[in-house]
Amino acid sequence: MGYLDRLDTYKDEMIKTLGELVSFPSIASEAVRAADGTEMPAGRAVHEALMYILDCGAKMGFKSVNLDNRAGYIEFSADAESSDSDDVKRCDIVAHIDVVPEGTGWTNDPYVLTEKDGVLYGRGTSDDKGPAIAVLYAMKALKEEGIVPGHTVRLVFGIDEETCSDHISYYTDQCGHPDMGFTPDSKFPLINGEMGIISFSLDQKLKPAASKDELRLTRLEAGTAVNIVPKDARAVIAGDKQFYDSIIARVRQYAEETGYDIKAKKQGSSVAVEAHGKAAHGAWPEKGLNALSILMEFLGRVDFACRELNDFIDFYNEHLGFDLHGERFGCKIKDDPSGPLILNVGKANIDEELAEVLIGIRYPVTFNYEQVMTGIEDVLEGTSIGIVSGFTQDPVYMPLGTDMVNKLLKAYRDETGDFDTDARVSGGGTYAKMVNNILAFGGLFPGEEDTMHQADERISIDSFMKMARIYARAIESLCCK
Protein backbone atom coordinates (compact mmCIF):
# COMPACT_ATOMS: atom_id res chain seq x y z
CA MET A 1 0.00 0.00 0.00
CA GLY A 2 1.42 3.41 -0.93
CA TYR A 3 1.11 6.45 1.28
CA LEU A 4 -1.71 7.92 -0.83
CA ASP A 5 -3.75 4.73 -0.58
CA ARG A 6 -3.08 4.59 3.14
CA LEU A 7 -4.19 8.19 3.50
CA ASP A 8 -7.54 7.37 1.90
CA THR A 9 -8.19 4.79 4.66
CA TYR A 10 -8.00 7.56 7.28
CA LYS A 11 -11.09 9.42 6.05
CA ASP A 12 -13.43 8.58 8.94
CA GLU A 13 -10.70 9.19 11.50
CA MET A 14 -9.81 12.52 9.89
CA ILE A 15 -13.43 13.69 10.02
CA LYS A 16 -13.70 12.62 13.66
CA THR A 17 -10.49 14.49 14.58
CA LEU A 18 -11.65 17.60 12.72
CA GLY A 19 -14.98 17.47 14.54
CA GLU A 20 -13.24 17.34 17.91
CA LEU A 21 -10.98 20.26 16.99
CA VAL A 22 -13.94 22.30 15.67
CA SER A 23 -15.71 21.77 19.01
CA PHE A 24 -13.28 24.17 20.69
CA PRO A 25 -14.55 27.78 20.21
CA SER A 26 -10.94 28.87 19.87
CA ILE A 27 -11.37 32.61 19.38
CA ALA A 28 -8.22 34.36 20.57
CA SER A 29 -8.93 36.51 23.61
CA GLU A 30 -7.10 38.10 26.51
CA ALA A 31 -4.61 36.01 28.44
CA VAL A 32 -5.93 34.10 31.44
CA ARG A 33 -4.33 32.10 34.22
CA ALA A 34 -5.78 28.75 35.30
CA ALA A 35 -6.23 27.81 38.95
CA ASP A 36 -3.05 25.71 38.78
CA GLY A 37 -1.08 28.72 37.49
CA THR A 38 -1.05 27.70 33.81
CA GLU A 39 -0.73 30.73 31.56
CA MET A 40 -3.08 30.74 28.56
CA PRO A 41 -1.85 33.63 26.39
CA ALA A 42 -4.80 33.62 23.96
CA GLY A 43 -7.53 32.42 26.32
CA ARG A 44 -8.76 29.05 27.57
CA ALA A 45 -10.46 27.76 24.42
CA VAL A 46 -7.40 28.40 22.23
CA HIS A 47 -5.20 26.74 24.86
CA GLU A 48 -7.41 23.67 24.98
CA ALA A 49 -7.43 23.40 21.18
CA LEU A 50 -3.64 23.61 21.10
CA MET A 51 -3.29 20.92 23.79
CA TYR A 52 -5.72 18.70 21.90
CA ILE A 53 -3.94 18.84 18.56
CA LEU A 54 -0.50 18.36 20.13
CA ASP A 55 -1.85 15.32 21.94
CA CYS A 56 -3.15 13.96 18.62
CA GLY A 57 0.36 14.20 17.21
CA ALA A 58 1.88 12.48 20.22
CA LYS A 59 -0.58 9.59 19.94
CA MET A 60 0.49 9.13 16.32
CA GLY A 61 4.06 8.66 17.48
CA PHE A 62 5.34 12.10 16.55
CA LYS A 63 7.37 14.39 18.76
CA SER A 64 4.95 17.04 20.08
CA VAL A 65 6.34 20.22 21.61
CA ASN A 66 4.50 22.93 23.53
CA LEU A 67 6.39 26.23 23.54
CA ASP A 68 5.13 27.81 26.77
CA ASN A 69 1.54 27.68 25.49
CA ARG A 70 2.37 30.38 22.92
CA ALA A 71 2.86 28.01 20.01
CA GLY A 72 3.46 24.34 19.43
CA TYR A 73 4.62 21.88 16.83
CA ILE A 74 4.40 18.25 15.79
CA GLU A 75 7.66 16.96 14.36
CA PHE A 76 8.35 14.22 11.81
CA SER A 77 12.05 13.41 11.55
CA ALA A 78 14.37 10.47 10.96
CA ASP A 79 15.34 10.43 14.64
CA ALA A 80 15.69 12.80 17.58
CA GLU A 81 19.41 13.28 17.01
CA SER A 82 19.09 14.26 13.36
CA SER A 83 16.20 16.66 14.01
CA ASP A 84 18.46 18.83 16.17
CA SER A 85 21.48 18.72 13.85
CA ASP A 86 22.59 21.88 12.13
CA ASP A 87 23.27 19.81 9.03
CA VAL A 88 19.61 18.83 8.62
CA LYS A 89 17.32 21.27 6.87
CA ARG A 90 13.87 22.03 8.26
CA CYS A 91 10.52 22.29 6.54
CA ASP A 92 7.86 24.13 8.54
CA ILE A 93 4.18 23.84 7.71
CA VAL A 94 2.65 26.70 9.66
CA ALA A 95 -1.07 26.59 10.50
CA HIS A 96 -3.24 28.21 13.17
CA ILE A 97 -5.82 26.82 15.56
CA ASP A 98 -7.59 30.08 16.42
CA VAL A 99 -10.73 31.11 14.52
CA VAL A 100 -12.79 34.24 13.97
CA PRO A 101 -16.01 34.74 16.00
CA GLU A 102 -18.97 32.77 14.71
CA GLY A 103 -21.19 35.78 13.94
CA THR A 104 -24.79 35.27 12.92
CA GLY A 105 -26.66 33.44 10.16
CA TRP A 106 -25.58 29.85 10.81
CA THR A 107 -27.99 27.05 9.99
CA ASN A 108 -26.17 24.71 12.39
CA ASP A 109 -24.18 25.04 15.60
CA PRO A 110 -20.83 26.44 14.38
CA TYR A 111 -18.94 24.36 16.96
CA VAL A 112 -20.55 21.04 16.09
CA LEU A 113 -19.16 19.53 12.89
CA THR A 114 -22.19 18.80 10.71
CA GLU A 115 -22.15 16.75 7.52
CA LYS A 116 -24.71 17.42 4.79
CA ASP A 117 -24.50 15.95 1.31
CA GLY A 118 -20.77 15.31 1.54
CA VAL A 119 -19.98 18.76 2.99
CA LEU A 120 -18.62 19.45 6.49
CA TYR A 121 -19.93 22.59 8.22
CA GLY A 122 -18.31 24.27 11.21
CA ARG A 123 -16.17 27.22 12.22
CA GLY A 124 -12.59 26.52 11.20
CA THR A 125 -13.33 23.76 8.70
CA SER A 126 -11.64 25.75 5.93
CA ASP A 127 -9.70 28.31 8.01
CA ASP A 128 -7.52 26.74 9.27
CA LYS A 129 -8.42 23.60 11.22
CA GLY A 130 -9.42 21.49 8.21
CA PRO A 131 -6.18 22.10 6.29
CA ALA A 132 -4.13 21.58 9.48
CA ILE A 133 -5.75 18.19 10.05
CA ALA A 134 -5.14 17.32 6.39
CA VAL A 135 -1.42 18.04 6.86
CA LEU A 136 -1.25 16.02 10.09
CA TYR A 137 -2.70 12.93 8.46
CA ALA A 138 -0.48 13.40 5.41
CA MET A 139 2.48 13.19 7.81
CA LYS A 140 0.96 10.11 9.46
CA ALA A 141 0.53 8.32 6.13
CA LEU A 142 4.15 8.95 5.17
CA LYS A 143 5.37 7.82 8.59
CA GLU A 144 3.33 4.62 8.63
CA GLU A 145 4.55 3.72 5.15
CA GLY A 146 8.08 3.82 6.52
CA ILE A 147 9.13 6.81 4.44
CA VAL A 148 12.13 8.49 6.08
CA PRO A 149 12.35 12.28 5.92
CA GLY A 150 15.71 13.62 4.88
CA HIS A 151 14.71 17.00 6.33
CA THR A 152 12.93 17.65 9.59
CA VAL A 153 9.22 18.29 9.01
CA ARG A 154 7.26 20.36 11.53
CA LEU A 155 3.57 21.11 11.60
CA VAL A 156 3.59 24.37 13.57
CA PHE A 157 0.53 25.87 15.27
CA GLY A 158 0.00 29.56 15.90
CA ILE A 159 -2.63 30.73 18.39
CA ASP A 160 -3.60 34.24 17.32
CA GLU A 161 -3.33 34.50 13.53
CA GLU A 162 -6.82 35.97 13.19
CA THR A 163 -6.08 38.86 15.55
CA CYS A 164 -2.44 39.91 15.60
CA SER A 165 -0.13 36.94 14.84
CA ASP A 166 2.16 38.09 17.65
CA HIS A 167 2.86 34.70 19.17
CA ILE A 168 4.25 33.06 16.02
CA SER A 169 7.31 35.26 16.54
CA TYR A 170 7.82 33.43 19.83
CA TYR A 171 8.22 30.25 17.81
CA THR A 172 10.75 31.78 15.40
CA ASP A 173 12.62 33.40 18.29
CA GLN A 174 12.92 30.03 20.01
CA CYS A 175 13.44 27.81 16.96
CA GLY A 176 14.65 30.07 14.18
CA HIS A 177 13.22 30.21 10.68
CA PRO A 178 12.91 27.13 8.46
CA ASP A 179 14.72 26.44 5.23
CA MET A 180 11.48 25.81 3.35
CA GLY A 181 7.79 25.17 3.92
CA PHE A 182 4.28 26.44 3.45
CA THR A 183 1.16 27.60 5.24
CA PRO A 184 -2.12 25.82 4.31
CA ASP A 185 -4.10 29.01 4.79
CA SER A 186 -4.95 30.43 1.38
CA LYS A 187 -5.60 29.00 -2.08
CA PHE A 188 -4.36 26.39 -4.52
CA PRO A 189 -2.45 25.95 -6.66
CA LEU A 190 0.04 28.28 -4.91
CA ILE A 191 0.49 31.84 -3.73
CA ASN A 192 4.11 32.51 -4.69
CA GLY A 193 4.05 36.10 -3.47
CA GLU A 194 2.21 38.37 -1.05
CA MET A 195 2.15 42.10 -1.62
CA GLY A 196 3.72 44.46 0.89
CA ILE A 197 1.37 46.15 3.33
CA ILE A 198 1.40 49.72 4.62
CA SER A 199 -1.24 51.29 6.82
CA PHE A 200 -1.27 54.86 8.09
CA SER A 201 -3.62 57.70 8.85
CA LEU A 202 -3.96 61.14 7.30
CA ASP A 203 -4.58 63.66 10.06
CA GLN A 204 -5.71 67.28 9.80
CA LYS A 205 -6.10 69.55 12.81
CA LEU A 206 -9.26 71.66 12.64
CA LYS A 207 -10.27 74.99 14.11
CA PRO A 208 -13.74 74.90 15.70
CA ALA A 209 -16.30 77.32 14.28
CA ALA A 210 -16.60 80.64 16.09
CA SER A 211 -20.37 80.28 16.51
CA LYS A 212 -22.66 77.31 16.99
CA ASP A 213 -25.00 78.90 14.45
CA GLU A 214 -22.41 78.36 11.71
CA LEU A 215 -22.59 75.19 9.63
CA ARG A 216 -20.48 72.53 11.37
CA LEU A 217 -19.61 68.88 10.91
CA THR A 218 -19.74 67.75 14.51
CA ARG A 219 -19.09 64.07 13.91
CA LEU A 220 -18.25 61.65 11.12
CA GLU A 221 -17.67 57.94 11.58
CA ALA A 222 -17.06 55.27 8.96
CA GLY A 223 -15.65 51.77 8.81
CA THR A 224 -14.49 49.17 11.30
CA ALA A 225 -10.91 48.40 10.23
CA VAL A 226 -8.30 49.64 7.80
CA ASN A 227 -8.40 46.36 5.85
CA ILE A 228 -12.16 46.37 5.21
CA VAL A 229 -14.07 48.50 2.71
CA PRO A 230 -16.50 50.58 4.83
CA LYS A 231 -20.09 49.45 4.44
CA ASP A 232 -21.55 52.36 6.41
CA ALA A 233 -20.64 56.00 6.96
CA ARG A 234 -22.46 58.60 9.03
CA ALA A 235 -22.05 62.35 9.46
CA VAL A 236 -23.78 64.71 11.87
CA ILE A 237 -24.19 68.31 10.72
CA ALA A 238 -25.21 71.13 13.06
CA GLY A 239 -25.74 74.87 12.91
CA ASP A 240 -28.59 77.25 12.30
CA LYS A 241 -31.70 75.19 11.49
CA GLN A 242 -32.31 77.26 8.37
CA PHE A 243 -29.65 75.09 6.68
CA TYR A 244 -31.31 71.75 7.40
CA ASP A 245 -33.97 71.58 4.71
CA SER A 246 -31.41 72.61 2.11
CA ILE A 247 -28.98 69.87 3.19
CA ILE A 248 -31.69 67.23 3.11
CA ALA A 249 -32.75 68.37 -0.36
CA ARG A 250 -29.13 68.27 -1.59
CA VAL A 251 -28.69 64.73 -0.28
CA ARG A 252 -31.83 63.66 -2.11
CA GLN A 253 -30.60 65.28 -5.32
CA TYR A 254 -27.16 63.65 -4.98
CA ALA A 255 -28.75 60.24 -4.47
CA GLU A 256 -30.89 60.69 -7.58
CA GLU A 257 -27.88 61.77 -9.65
CA THR A 258 -25.57 58.96 -8.57
CA GLY A 259 -27.84 56.09 -7.56
CA TYR A 260 -25.95 55.75 -4.29
CA ASP A 261 -27.69 54.76 -1.07
CA ILE A 262 -27.47 57.98 0.93
CA LYS A 263 -30.16 59.60 3.06
CA ALA A 264 -30.53 62.51 5.46
CA LYS A 265 -32.95 63.26 8.26
CA LYS A 266 -33.36 65.74 11.05
CA GLN A 267 -32.15 64.39 14.36
CA GLY A 268 -32.78 66.61 17.35
CA SER A 269 -30.83 69.82 16.83
CA SER A 270 -28.85 68.46 13.89
CA VAL A 271 -29.05 66.59 10.58
CA ALA A 272 -27.72 63.06 10.21
CA VAL A 273 -26.49 61.94 6.80
CA GLU A 274 -25.97 58.21 6.30
CA ALA A 275 -24.36 56.48 3.33
CA HIS A 276 -24.33 52.74 2.70
CA GLY A 277 -22.07 50.79 0.39
CA LYS A 278 -20.81 47.23 0.30
CA ALA A 279 -18.17 45.71 2.56
CA ALA A 280 -15.23 43.75 1.15
CA HIS A 281 -11.74 42.75 2.20
CA GLY A 282 -9.23 45.55 1.71
CA ALA A 283 -7.14 43.26 -0.50
CA TRP A 284 -10.00 43.14 -3.01
CA PRO A 285 -11.74 46.53 -2.70
CA GLU A 286 -13.20 46.21 -6.19
CA LYS A 287 -15.65 43.71 -4.70
CA GLY A 288 -17.11 46.41 -2.44
CA LEU A 289 -18.36 49.98 -2.55
CA ASN A 290 -16.83 52.49 -0.15
CA ALA A 291 -19.56 54.24 1.87
CA LEU A 292 -17.04 56.79 3.16
CA SER A 293 -16.21 57.90 -0.37
CA ILE A 294 -19.92 58.30 -1.10
CA LEU A 295 -20.35 60.46 1.99
CA MET A 296 -17.22 62.54 1.35
CA GLU A 297 -18.23 63.20 -2.25
CA PHE A 298 -21.53 64.57 -1.00
CA LEU A 299 -19.90 66.62 1.77
CA GLY A 300 -17.78 68.26 -0.90
CA ARG A 301 -21.00 70.02 -1.94
CA VAL A 302 -21.40 71.59 1.51
CA ASP A 303 -19.58 74.76 2.57
CA PHE A 304 -18.70 74.36 6.25
CA ALA A 305 -17.57 77.19 8.47
CA CYS A 306 -14.23 75.41 9.14
CA ARG A 307 -11.88 76.15 6.24
CA GLU A 308 -9.48 73.34 7.18
CA LEU A 309 -12.35 70.84 7.09
CA ASN A 310 -13.39 71.97 3.62
CA ASP A 311 -9.77 71.64 2.46
CA PHE A 312 -9.53 68.13 3.92
CA ILE A 313 -12.75 67.02 2.23
CA ASP A 314 -11.59 68.54 -1.05
CA PHE A 315 -8.24 66.76 -0.75
CA TYR A 316 -9.98 63.45 -0.13
CA ASN A 317 -12.21 63.84 -3.17
CA GLU A 318 -9.39 65.08 -5.41
CA HIS A 319 -6.74 62.49 -4.48
CA LEU A 320 -8.56 59.47 -3.00
CA GLY A 321 -12.25 59.34 -3.84
CA PHE A 322 -13.24 55.99 -5.33
CA ASP A 323 -9.75 55.21 -6.66
CA LEU A 324 -8.49 51.71 -5.86
CA HIS A 325 -4.91 51.91 -7.13
CA GLY A 326 -3.54 55.26 -5.93
CA GLU A 327 -4.15 56.86 -9.32
CA ARG A 328 -4.28 60.41 -7.90
CA PHE A 329 -2.43 59.79 -4.65
CA GLY A 330 1.09 59.55 -6.03
CA CYS A 331 1.43 55.78 -5.76
CA LYS A 332 0.09 54.36 -9.00
CA ILE A 333 2.63 51.57 -9.51
CA LYS A 334 2.48 47.99 -10.75
CA ASP A 335 4.65 45.05 -11.73
CA ASP A 336 4.13 41.87 -13.74
CA PRO A 337 3.93 39.40 -10.82
CA SER A 338 1.48 41.49 -8.75
CA GLY A 339 -0.40 43.83 -10.99
CA PRO A 340 -1.26 47.30 -9.63
CA LEU A 341 -0.94 48.65 -6.12
CA ILE A 342 -4.17 48.30 -4.11
CA LEU A 343 -5.48 51.13 -1.95
CA ASN A 344 -8.35 51.06 0.54
CA VAL A 345 -9.59 53.87 2.77
CA GLY A 346 -10.96 51.73 5.56
CA LYS A 347 -11.93 54.01 8.40
CA ALA A 348 -12.57 57.65 9.28
CA ASN A 349 -13.19 59.72 12.37
CA ILE A 350 -13.84 63.44 12.24
CA ASP A 351 -14.90 65.81 15.00
CA GLU A 352 -14.59 69.57 15.35
CA GLU A 353 -10.90 69.40 16.27
CA LEU A 354 -9.41 66.59 14.16
CA ALA A 355 -10.07 64.88 10.84
CA GLU A 356 -8.55 61.42 10.41
CA VAL A 357 -8.82 58.76 7.72
CA LEU A 358 -7.06 55.39 7.83
CA ILE A 359 -5.54 54.05 4.63
CA GLY A 360 -4.37 50.55 3.82
CA ILE A 361 -2.04 49.93 0.88
CA ARG A 362 -0.90 46.64 -0.63
CA TYR A 363 2.02 47.24 -2.94
CA PRO A 364 3.67 45.13 -5.67
CA VAL A 365 6.33 42.64 -4.64
CA THR A 366 9.21 44.19 -6.60
CA PHE A 367 8.79 47.60 -4.89
CA ASN A 368 9.69 48.78 -1.40
CA TYR A 369 8.19 51.04 1.27
CA GLU A 370 10.19 54.12 0.28
CA GLN A 371 9.14 53.88 -3.36
CA VAL A 372 5.49 53.86 -2.33
CA MET A 373 5.64 56.64 0.23
CA THR A 374 7.77 59.10 -1.75
CA GLY A 375 5.01 59.82 -4.24
CA ILE A 376 2.40 60.14 -1.48
CA GLU A 377 4.58 62.62 0.39
CA ASP A 378 4.95 64.66 -2.80
CA VAL A 379 1.15 64.88 -3.13
CA LEU A 380 0.83 65.99 0.51
CA GLU A 381 3.51 68.66 0.19
CA GLY A 382 2.05 72.11 0.64
CA THR A 383 -0.95 70.87 2.63
CA SER A 384 -1.34 70.86 6.40
CA ILE A 385 -2.25 67.14 6.38
CA GLY A 386 0.14 64.87 8.25
CA ILE A 387 0.93 61.17 8.00
CA VAL A 388 0.77 59.08 11.18
CA SER A 389 2.52 55.78 10.55
CA GLY A 390 0.83 52.53 11.44
CA PHE A 391 1.59 48.98 10.35
CA THR A 392 4.03 47.78 7.70
CA GLN A 393 4.96 44.38 6.26
CA ASP A 394 7.49 43.74 3.53
CA PRO A 395 6.37 41.73 0.51
CA VAL A 396 7.07 38.00 0.07
CA TYR A 397 8.01 36.60 -3.33
CA MET A 398 9.50 33.46 -4.86
CA PRO A 399 9.66 33.61 -8.66
CA LEU A 400 8.24 30.88 -10.85
CA GLY A 401 10.91 28.31 -11.62
CA THR A 402 12.50 28.20 -8.18
CA ASP A 403 12.88 24.72 -6.69
CA MET A 404 10.28 24.98 -3.93
CA VAL A 405 7.72 26.61 -6.22
CA ASN A 406 8.24 23.84 -8.78
CA LYS A 407 7.81 21.07 -6.21
CA LEU A 408 4.67 22.54 -4.66
CA LEU A 409 3.07 23.12 -8.04
CA LYS A 410 3.97 19.59 -9.13
CA ALA A 411 2.32 18.12 -6.01
CA TYR A 412 -0.87 20.02 -6.83
CA ARG A 413 -0.84 19.19 -10.53
CA ASP A 414 0.00 15.52 -10.09
CA GLU A 415 -2.99 15.10 -7.80
CA THR A 416 -5.54 17.29 -9.62
CA GLY A 417 -4.46 17.17 -13.27
CA ASP A 418 -4.95 20.95 -13.36
CA PHE A 419 -2.12 22.39 -15.46
CA ASP A 420 -4.04 25.50 -16.50
CA THR A 421 -4.14 27.36 -13.18
CA ASP A 422 -0.79 28.87 -12.24
CA ALA A 423 0.76 30.30 -9.10
CA ARG A 424 -0.04 33.92 -8.44
CA VAL A 425 0.71 36.85 -6.15
CA SER A 426 -1.96 37.76 -3.58
CA GLY A 427 -2.92 40.98 -1.89
CA GLY A 428 -3.72 39.02 1.27
CA GLY A 429 -1.42 38.23 4.15
CA THR A 430 -0.59 34.90 5.82
CA TYR A 431 2.08 33.47 8.10
CA ALA A 432 4.38 33.65 5.06
CA LYS A 433 4.86 37.29 6.07
CA MET A 434 5.99 36.22 9.56
CA VAL A 435 8.01 33.06 8.87
CA ASN A 436 10.82 33.19 6.33
CA ASN A 437 11.07 30.85 3.34
CA ILE A 438 7.47 29.63 3.29
CA LEU A 439 4.59 30.27 0.88
CA ALA A 440 0.80 29.97 1.13
CA PHE A 441 -0.27 26.65 -0.40
CA GLY A 442 -3.97 25.75 -0.33
CA GLY A 443 -6.40 24.78 0.95
CA LEU A 444 -9.14 26.48 -1.17
CA PHE A 445 -9.37 24.98 -4.65
CA PRO A 446 -9.98 27.00 -7.84
CA GLY A 447 -13.68 27.52 -8.44
CA GLU A 448 -14.71 26.77 -4.87
CA GLU A 449 -16.76 29.26 -2.88
CA ASP A 450 -14.70 30.94 -0.19
CA THR A 451 -16.63 30.63 3.08
CA MET A 452 -13.77 31.56 5.40
CA HIS A 453 -14.97 33.97 8.10
CA GLN A 454 -18.56 33.48 6.89
CA ALA A 455 -21.65 31.88 8.40
CA ASP A 456 -21.87 28.18 7.48
CA GLU A 457 -18.13 27.93 6.88
CA ARG A 458 -17.56 24.58 5.20
CA ILE A 459 -15.37 22.18 3.31
CA SER A 460 -16.39 19.25 1.13
CA ILE A 461 -15.12 15.83 2.18
CA ASP A 462 -13.72 15.37 -1.33
CA SER A 463 -11.69 18.58 -1.03
CA PHE A 464 -10.60 17.66 2.51
CA MET A 465 -9.18 14.35 1.30
CA LYS A 466 -7.75 15.81 -1.89
CA MET A 467 -5.81 18.50 -0.05
CA ALA A 468 -4.41 15.85 2.32
CA ARG A 469 -3.13 13.90 -0.70
CA ILE A 470 -1.58 17.06 -2.16
CA TYR A 471 0.12 17.84 1.15
CA ALA A 472 1.46 14.30 1.40
CA ARG A 473 2.90 14.59 -2.11
CA ALA A 474 4.43 17.96 -1.25
CA ILE A 475 6.07 16.74 1.97
CA GLU A 476 7.43 13.67 0.22
CA SER A 477 8.83 15.80 -2.61
CA LEU A 478 10.34 18.51 -0.41
CA CYS A 479 11.67 16.44 2.45
CA CYS A 480 11.79 12.70 2.05
CA LYS A 481 14.50 10.37 0.82
Which pLDDT score is estimated for 83?
54
Q: Which of 378, 393, 408 is the last residue of a domain?
A: 393
Q: 385 and 466: one domain?
A: no
In which domain, by residue range, is 350 found?
196-393
* Closest-CA residue to 222 (of 280, 282, 320, 293): 293
H helices of 176-299, where?
A: 244-258, 291-299
Q: 87 and 203: one domain?
A: no
Q: Pick 414 or 480 by higher pLDDT.
A: 414
Q: Which of 393, 417, 446 is the last residue of a domain?
A: 393
Residue 45, SS3? helix
Q: 65 and 178: one domain?
A: yes
* Closest-CA residue to 132 (of 195, 207, 233, 52): 52
Distance CA 328, CA 451 (A): 34
Residue 362's domain is classified under what CATH number? Answer: 3.30.70.360
| pLDDT(250) > 80 | yes
Q: 401 and 369: one domain?
A: no
Q: Which of 393, 420, 448 is the last residue of a domain?
A: 393
Which tens digits make up the pLDDT trace of 191-219? 999 999 999 999 999 998 888 889 999 99
Q: 89 and 187: one domain?
A: yes
Which tens digits make up the pLDDT trace of 351-399? 999 999 999 999 999 999 999 999 999 999 999 999 998 889 999 999 9
Q: What is the arithmetic mean of pLDDT over 26-30?
A: 94
Q: 214 and 109: one domain?
A: no
Distances from the Cα of 354 to the Cαs of 236, 351, 380, in angstroms? Answer: 15, 6, 17
Distance CA 60, CA 144 (A): 9
Distance CA 436, CA 189 (A): 20
| pLDDT(292) > 90 | yes
Which pLDDT score is estimated for 453?
87
What residue type is assigned to position 90 of the chain? R
Q: Where are the beta strands (DSSP E) in 223-317?
A: 232-238, 261-267, 270-276
Residue 114's domain is classified under what CATH number? Answer: 3.40.630.10
Secondary structure of 331-360 in HEC code, one letter for each residue = CCCEECCCEECEEEEEEEEECCCEEEEEEE
Report how many domains make up the chain. 2
Q: What is the arithmetic mean of pLDDT over 326-344?
A: 97
Q: 371 and 411: one domain?
A: no
Residues in the chain: 481
> pLDDT band for position 476 (50/70/90)?
very high
Q: 470 and 407: one domain?
A: yes
Which pLDDT score is estimated for 85?
60
Q: 372 and 408: one domain?
A: no
Which pLDDT score is estimated for 1?
75
Which pLDDT score is estimated for 75?
97
Which tens digits make up the pLDDT trace of 65-86? 999 999 999 999 977 555 556 6
Which pLDDT score is estimated for 212?
86
Distance CA 159, CA 162 (A): 8
Which tens digits make up the pLDDT trace of 416-437? 999 999 999 999 889 999 999 9
Q: 8 and 146: one domain?
A: yes
Q: 58 and 8: one domain?
A: yes
Q: 318 and 463: one domain?
A: no
Mean pLDDT over the full length of the chain: 95
> pLDDT band for position 57 (50/70/90)?
very high
